[in-house]
Amino acid sequence: MPAFRALILEDHDFQRRVGAQVLRSCGATEVYEAADGAAALDYVCSSPTPADVLLCDLKMPGMDGLAFLRHIAEHGCASSVILASAVDASIMRAAEIMAKSYGIRMVGAIDKPVSRAKLMPLLLRHFTRQISRPHAAAEQMPLTEIAAGIAARQFLPFYQPKIDVKTGMLVGAEALMRWRHPERGFIPPASFIPLMERNHLIAEVTFDLIKTVLAQIRAWQSAGLSVPVAINVSVESLRDTSLPDRLEAMTSAEGLRPNCLTIEVTETVAMTDVGHSLETLARCRMKGFELSVDDYGTGFSSMQQLTRLPLSELKIDQVFVTGAAEGTILAALLETTIGMAHRLGLKTVAEGIESNEDWNIVAQLGCDIAQGYFIAKPMPAEELAPWYGAWLGKRSGRPAE
């Protein structure tokens, strides 16, 4: 464990001293102790060597932990925060969500008393997880450059593996759009996809991507690797009721069956133009394509959508997955969602698997498929087969050939 500086905010003298000792046992070289929010805030705002980790109680006289979190967010505090409190789990979860919405680097929460066993996994997450503050707004690329990039076919799919939780085998991948700019290198999707959508360019690029994906699926099949691929489609594509026929023709041209391709839609997109969207999606299913609702749980009427959409798969948003092993509320919601999906005959995919704890909880709760950085980041097509060999070797305890 690397050395780090810590601040503990706790009004109870004995528990504060114990917490400070635990932090030191975990590798903290400096521990600043604060008995109230005002003192802790003064340290955060004035210290020339800010703490790497803040261990924060919630229920305190004077400035409580919630107010303290709001104030440090306004100050632009970049420290990672761990909540340690005896409040109800629902309050703890609300505090975590509130802190994240303020842009705080929240790594998790534990109940009291603080112990090394509880604290170490969250400190490891502080050092190993890529936790970033929400960016104010991604730099938007000029529309002329985007159009030129489309003409030059600079947009390509990266593939993020989907793994069967029971067997550990590769059962598919999600294709994610990337822009390989000749001068700027890889440009994040937030810098070009919204502009594409607003200027009616996204459908054209999506079809180019699908064509590339289908050719890659065929190449993988020829090499003995079966990798069905999921690709997200926009509301503009769903409004086009000729989409199912075009997909069928493209799939047939590659000598593939429709079930090699999963159409992913978000709840919001699927319900934006209900008539056209449902006609398009129903026809896709009739032709044999798989259909997945992405980011399930973040829409305004999630359960209702399950009765409307002809789904074959449910992707559970990472906000319900990441950290579920630490909280009874998230675990209960996750278990309920998985059980409901299975009763409806749907496969379940857990997004945002970022740690071994995340993997274990979705396995324990019976989720079918896992996807996330703990397994692999999105990668170019040529890296998938070598990665899979290494993944299988790691799981079997043998070095990859």
What are the catalytic residues?
A: 351
Residue 167, SS3 per DSSP = coil
User: Residue 19 and residue 138: Cα distance in Å, rounded?
Assistant: 39
Type of residue numbered 33: E
CA atoms within 13 A on the CB side of 146: 24
Q: Are 323 and 330 in contact (CB under 8 A)?
A: yes
CB of 123 closer than 8 Å to CB of 1 = yes
CB-CB contact of 314 with 293 (8 Å): yes
Rounded-to-integer distance, Cα 114 and Cα 19, Å:
6
Amino acid letter, residue 144 = T
* 298-327 burial code (b ≥16 CB/10 A, e <16): ebeebeebbeebebbbbbbbbbbbbbbbbb
The per-residue DSSP string of 265-318 comes to: EEHHHHTTSHHHHHHHHHHHHHTT-EEEEEEETSSTTHHHHHHHS--SEEEEPG
Q: Can you give 214-241 as a three-state secondary structure string?
A: HHHHHHHHHCCCCCCEEEECCHHHHHCC
Q: CA–CA separation, 156 vs 247, rounded Å?
A: 18
- Asked if residues 367 and 373 have their Cβ atoms less than 8 Å apart, the reply is no
Spatial separation of the C-alpha atoms in residues 311 and 279, rounded to whole Å: 13
